[in-house]
Structure 1
Amino acid sequence: MKKLTTTDHYSSDDRLLAWADQVRTSCVPMVFRTDSEQGFRGEICSVETDGMCFSRIAAVDHVAIHDWEEVRRTADDYLLVSIQINGKGAIEQDARTAFVGPADMVLFDSSRHFVWHFSGEQYTIRFPRKALEKLVPCGRQQTAVKIPAAAGIRRIAADHVASLHRELSSDNGNDAACAKLGDITASLVAMAIGDYFNTVPLPRSNVKEMHLLRARALIRDRIREPELGPEQIAAELGVSSRYLYRLFAEVGESIGDIICTTRLNGCGDWLQQRAYLHLSITDIAMTWGFNSASHFSRAFRRHFEMSARDYRAQHHEAS
């Protein structure tokens, strides 16, 4: 299904809001800002096939932010790949920034915060996570890394995306045939990503990657246990606490911050829901693993930039 949208139909004051609606449909929810003196202007031509969305995006320079609030609003779990056509852009994610120019490719993940410094024109493919992840590792070490696509299998993958988008968005009657190429597209893009990372030294060994995956799984599954902390996780993994701290530091993260942020986001989600209005804020905090009301209050205010009481009131004032 082809969808061509442009901000030209909107007044200058409404264009960024309109753009946000357009991008949400073809990519993921984001908030935008621009300092362009000519006012905002953008155009997206999107086509969907086989669960994937292919978009050709052109716009004046702007910044798109997929923050934690937008992550929570993202209905499904996606991996996104952008291929720069002209101009220069940048993607920030996982404590890295990929600066991309024409023929460069970059992978980013909808399940985590990212900042997109958009300039020029590019193709963006939104993959259901499983469609790409089953073919190639797409973890934190692969996101926000510039993948040059000027030659070899990477060039083939980039050219295929351009050709497929062109055919799907045309009116020449080839939609049915092209719609069957989703798996081929995922395979080519996966091969391009794998080709690059197989030729570039990786920052961690497979053992370290396994430890990170298991640590994150423990955090996700046992986050409500008050005793859960770096020491317990290290013990269950059979490693030292010092090793675990260093492991997360290598990818620009703090395991203590991850645990705290996961708990805070859980509390924030419950505070928004009417189903938990009968619970006090302290009860919610303790259910999500906090063992100190004062620590929870300070951490919540720092994370959400308001008190938990005000946060709950804000989400229920219209009820």
Structure 2
Amino acid sequence: MGALLAGFLTQLIADTTPYQPADRPRLGTVLVDLVAALFAHTLEAEGCLPPETHRRALVLRIKSFIRERLHDPRLTPATVAAAHHISTGYLHRLFRDEESTVAAWIRRLRLEGARRDLTEPARHATPIHAIAARWGFPRATDFSRAYRAAYGTTPQDHRRQALHGDE
């Protein structure tokens, strides 16, 4: 829990540009929930947390777990649920208030990571299929299809445009 709180604070301090003034109450609530969860965990009193605080802390732990394992192609909602000793149905209910489903969130994070790697000049010699595999897409065709659906272009065309401009 301490690492989760530290990661949240580090990310919050490092880049505040994505946040609007209207986000302050929600960010404050998340911070209070994490601090409460840390104390409850330390005192072995997690059962004393309000259900909503417990739920938000669990969602943050799950998201951290997912981010750490994005490269694993076997990362699925079922494996995430099993690792947290919850049912897949409960995992989906936890994500009901989030921006997307668990599977869609995993796919989006993987695609964002691959997109960054494709445009990074230091990786220009890395084959696209290797970048795809690095981000949890073992089959190049699945990666290309998901990439095109998300960004409206192929990974190869995006890389070419990013690295060479409109030559």
TM-score (norm 1): 0.39
User: For 1:273, which of 120, 137, 147 is the aligned residue?
Assistant: 120
- For residues 107 and 268 of structure 1, what CA distance do their matches in structure 2 show? 27
Question: CA–CA distance in 1 between the matches of 2:141 and 2:98?
Answer: 30
Q: Which residue matches 1:289?
A: 136
Where do residues 210-289 of structure 1 align in structure 2 (5 Å cutoff)? 210-289=57-136
% identical aligned pairs: 29
- Report the equivalent of 2:52: 205
Please state whether the residue corresponding to 1:137 is helix, strand or coil.
helix
Q: Do residues 80 (structure 1) and 20 (structure 2) align?
A: yes
State the alpha-carbon separation in 2 of the partners of residues 313 and 223 from structure 1.
Answer: 25
* CA RMSD of superposed structures (Å): 2.3
1:108/1:305 CA distance change after superposition, 3 Å: farther
In the alignment, which residue of structure 2 is the partner of 1:137?
A: 29
Render the CA deviation track for 1:266-309: whole Å, top value 9, x for unaligned. Answer: 10000001111121111100011112211111110011110001
Q: What 5-or-longer segments of structure 2 have no aligned partner?
A: 1-13, 32-50
Between the aligned partners of 1:108 and 1:298, the Cα distance in structure 2 is 37
**After TM superposition, where is structure 1 displaced by more than 3 Å over at least 4 residues in a row?**
none
| Contact in 1 for aligned 2:114/2:135 (Cα 8 Å) | yes
CA offset digits 1:212-263 (Å, max 9, x no partner): 0111001111111111111111111110011101210233520000100101
Partner amino acid for 2:129?
Answer: T
Aligned to 1:310: 157
What code does the residue aligned with 1:283 have? A
Count of residues in correspondence between the two structures: 132
**Amino acid of the structure 2 residue aligned with 1:238:** H
Looking at structure 2, the residues matched to 208 and 265 of structure 1 have their Cα atoms a distance apart, in angstroms, of 26
Q: Deviation of residue 138 (structure 1)?
A: 4.4
Opposite residue 80 of structure 1, the aligned amino acid is Q
Q: In 2, Cα distance between the equivalents of 1:245 and 1:271? A: 31
Q: In terms of Rg, which structure is larger?
A: 1
User: Could you tell me how far apart the structure 2 residues matched to 1:280 and 1:273 are?
Assistant: 13
**Residues 44-93 of structure 1, C-alpha deviations (whole Å, 9 max, x = no match):** xxxxxxxxxxxxxxxxxxxxxxxxxxxxxxxx521331xxxxxxxxxxxx
* Counterpart check, 1:299 vs 2:143: no
| 2:23 is equivalent to residue 107 of structure 1 | yes
Deviation at 1:107, TM superposition (A): 2.3
Normalized per residue, the structure richer in helix is: 2
TM-score, structure 2 normalization: 0.71
Q: Aligned partners of 1:307, 1:217: CA distance in 2, in Å? A: 29
Q: Alpha carbons of 1:80 and 1:252: their partners in 2 closer, same or farther (altered >3 Å)?
A: closer
CA contact (8 A) 2:30 2:56 kept: no
Q: What does the per-residue CA deviation read over 1:18-50, in whole Å, with 9 as the maximum and x for residues that have no partner?
A: xxxxxxxxxxxxxxxxxxxxxxxxxxxxxxxxx
1:265 counterpart SS class: helix
